[in-house]
Structure 1
Amino acid sequence: MTAKLYNRLRALKVDNPHLKILLSLGGWNMGSQKFTKLVSSGDNMKAFATNAMKYLHDKGFDGLDIDWEFPTRRGSPDGDKQRFTELLRVLKHAFYQEHFVHRNKNLMLTVAVSANPGVVATYYEPSKISQYVDFFNVMTYDFHGGWENYTGHHSALDGPDSEPFTVKKSATAWANHGVPKSKIMIGIPFTAHTFTLKDGNHTGIGSPTIGAGRAGEITKQKGSLAYFEVCKLLQQGAEGHRLVDYHVPYLVDGDRWVGYDDEKSIEEKVQYVVNEGFGGIFVWALDLDDFSGVCGKQFPLMNKIKDTFAHLIG
């Protein structure tokens, strides 16, 4: 199955030879334990770099994305903050040496990092990391969710001073810690976050809740919905609203409160990226867009990103 997927990805380069395909290692479910073991010695890191390069070249990838969630947390000791930087240095050095000595293609190195403005300097050494990576995927989503007892939007672009988590605050925090804006990629979720309203009433942000919202018919995961499921709810008469100060929409479906991104909110996020000189956009995830056209056209969110960039920068 994995081999077939790799083949399908590589085939995309027939239509677009400039396409870069990176392999990502990590994620929330992987946790910290394996990364902590990896960075526990220089020998481990060097061996990993050697094996990673061979695998990437053998499978036709253009680089590696490290998604450690998170150094110094979830069982990771404080020293992993510095050891994570060292891992990236070892990888970048190995990639550089192989490119110039053995004339292999120059592999890219990227990192997926927390969007919490308050932990940028706690989990990471931002300006040092910046020397070794091509760009940072700042995961500007999952700001709020069913683990809380009140409604909150998980990917608001902006908000009042009392709102600690917004795209603007996250991106600014990374830039203020020495990362060039051109290396900062902003994340846009194609997934919605849902809550169960405590008393059925809602006032936008801050309404009392009693946990995550019920699962969708297709995705079957409590607390979240795909955008194509959001479209269907709106078609079936769910009550849609906009959080004007936050620049994002939400809907109410019975006792379920659903925060999501739509074409309008995505257009505003792309405009922000371009106007402020950030590097670009990444999404989570393609298969959660409306790929079958429930909303009326296929891949409306991905196309809105592409079209807005085309309009703003050509």
Structure 2
Amino acid sequence: MYMDTILLLVSLMAVVIQGSPYRRVCYFTNWSRWRQGIGKFTVYDVEPFLCTHIVYAFGTFDSSGKVKPLNQGPDEKDWAALSKMKQINKNLKLLLALGGWNFGSVRFSNMAANPTVRSKFIYNAVDFLRKYDFDGLDIDWEYPTARGGVAADKANLVTLCKELIDAFNDDATKRGKDRLLLTAAVPANPKTAERGYDVMALSKYFDFINLMTYDFHGGWDGKTGFNSPLYAAPHDPNPTFNMDAAAKWWHGAGCPKDKIIVGFATYGRSFTLRDPSESGVGAPASTGPAGPYTRGQGFWAYYEICQSIEKGGQVIFDDDQKVPYYLKDTLWIGYDNEHSFTVKANWLKENGYSGVMFWALDLDDFSNACTTSTRTYPLIKTVIDILDGAMPVRTISTQVEPTDTTAADTQQDETLTVTDY
């Protein structure tokens, strides 16, 4: 049923953009399958031409360097379905992300430092990626030298990447196939990046980097602030905590613009105001409530925000930082909408960066849950409209296969807890 539906979808997509000069990197989170109601997201909600690269988050590896699925049965079913999707979109690339915030830094640090374990990890990763028809590996080490890491992590990461590329080249030659891709999710905070990343050296090995330009502000600040501002506010005490400054830092540190993929967040950060009469940017506040479906304290998917907006409240656009916030009583949410994504996409084009990364597919309005959404994935498609031309309106729905919703949510959203900012 799924493949029949996809073939029908393809036949309707006469305006699909082919050969885009921009990479559209979309993260797929394997814990979103356990959400309830309209929050439930499965591989069958993915549209095959939406992304040029889908990064599956997350796989794992043990202390011996063996790569494994995080949830073996369900994850393997996802990978098989995504592999079939590549038969529809011949240009689609599928990557496996290893790590993430909850995975931590220590296991990466120990693996990269030990030549024996590092070698096992590399060759095991090659076999694993080929077995499941992945096109590459995304390293999500959060972060080298931090969170229990050591100073040697900075050099060891370069060694790891060099040896991975050597192994990927050997594998491609032996198999007569395209080389596996090597990418990374990297921090936007220049201090974190400078401590842990030899940018000039790594840029020789990474095919591109996914810049995590979000979580700049949240309830941990004790005051309201934007999750992913484009620019700094006037007199901002942290003038590098924005997309423009972060991207410029990585380029200035040695990463070519044609390898910089800038992160766009399809979620927002919530706050609870201490005093409703003081409700602007920087107002005293604590971490806000959880979104009704995502259920992470201070974390709301776009579809949760737009549904709340439909029930009342104000949306205020900040002309300095080029992002909106939503205000209703004591609830304050800094987020992104179609207008701010339009501004950001034009900024990306004007500054010559090579693509956009979305965290994450399951957080956009993927099912038209909001009456204000004229199509599925309105945020992502707004960016595509600007980078590549108008996307078609989806006119049919895919058939979703039953999924066990009784299993525990084994992985919380990776953006729930941030201490490096």
Contact 1:70 1:123 in 2 (8 A): yes
What SS does the corresponding residue of 1:45 show, helix, strand or coil? helix
In 1: Cα distance, 2:277 partner to 2:183 partner = 43
Q: Does 1:133 align with 2:206?
A: yes
Q: What TM-score do the two structures reach when normalised by structure 2?
A: 0.72
Alignment of 1:215-254 (within 5 A): 215-254=290-329
Secondary structure of the corresponding residue to residue 113 of structure 2: coil
How far apart are 1:215 and its partner, in Å?
Answer: 1.3
2:78 and 2:175 map into 1 onto residues whose CA distance is: 28
Which whole-Å CA distance do the structure 1 matches of 2:342 and 2:124 have between them? Answer: 41
Report the alpha carbon displacement of residue 203 of structure 1 after superposing the two structures with TM.
4.3
For the Cα contact (< 8 Å) 1:233–1:253, is it kept in 2?
Answer: no
Amino acid at match of 2:144: P
Measure the CA separation in 2 of the matches of 1:72 and 1:149.
Answer: 27
| Contact 1:204-1:243 within 8 A present in 2 as well | no
Residue 13 of structure 1 corresponds to 86
Give the structure, 1 or 2, with the largest relative contact order (CA under 8 Å, sep 6 or more): 2
Secondary structure of 2:272 counterpart: strand
Counterpart CA distance in 2 for 1:131 and 1:275 is 25
Contact 1:137 1:185 survives alignment (8 Å): yes
Are 2:189 and 1:189 aligned?
Answer: no
Query: How far apart, in 1, do the equivalents of 2:198 and 2:167 lie?
Result: 20
Deviation of 1:31 (Å): 0.3
Match among 76, 82, 98 for residue 149 of structure 2? 76
Q: Percent identity?
A: 38
Q: Which sections of structure 1, spanning at least 5 residues, go unmatched? A: none
Q: Decide whether aligned partners of structure 1 residues 9 and 202 sit closer, same or farther in structure 2, where only a CA change above 3 A counts.
A: farther
Q: Distance in 1 between matches of 2:203 and 2:373?
A: 42
Kindly provide the amino acid, as one letter, of the partner of residue 304 in structure 1: T
Give the structure with the higher percent helix.
1
Give SS of 2:221's match: coil
Counterpart position of 1:41: 114
Return the alpha-carbon distance in structure 2 between the equivalents of residues 204 and 84 of structure 1.
42
Q: How many corresponding residue pairs?
A: 311
- Tell me, yes or no, if structure 1 residue 106 matches structure 2 residue 179: yes
SS at match of 2:160: helix
Match of 1:308 among 381, 386, 407: 386
Three-state SS of the structure 1 residue aligned to 2:219 is coil
Give the match for residue 92 of structure 1.
165
Query: What secondary structure, in the 3-state scheme, does the structure 2 residue paired with 1:46 have?
Result: helix
Structure 2: segments with no counterpart, 5+ residues:
1-73, 391-421
TM-score (norm 1): 0.96
Aligned to 2:60: none
Q: Tell me, in whole angstroms, the C-alpha distance in 1 between the residues paired with 2:111 and 2:151.
A: 15
Letter in 1 for 2:253: H
Q: Structure 1 residue 166 and structure 2 residue 242: aligned?
A: yes
Q: Which portions of structure 1, spanning 4 or more consecutive aligned residues, are displaced by more than 3 angstroms?
A: none
Q: 1:161 to 1:83 in 2, by over 3 A?
A: farther
Counterparts in 2 of 1:89 and 1:161: CA distance versus 1, 3 Å: farther
Deviation at 1:161, TM superposition (A): 5.2
Alpha carbon RMSD of aligned pairs, Å? 1.3
Matched with 1:147 is 220
Offset from partner CA, 1:281-311 (integer Å, 9 cap, x none):
0101111111222133221111111111124
Residue equivalent to 1:289: 364
* Counterparts of 1:102 and 1:262, CA distance in 2: 45
Q: Distance in 1 between matches of 2:353 and 2:105?
A: 29
Give the Cα separation in 1 of the matches to 2:373 and 2:197. 43
| Structure 1 pair 85–58 and aligned structure 2 pair: CA distance change class (3 A) | same
Please name the residue that 1:179 is paired with: 255
**Residue 201 (structure 1) shift:** 2.8
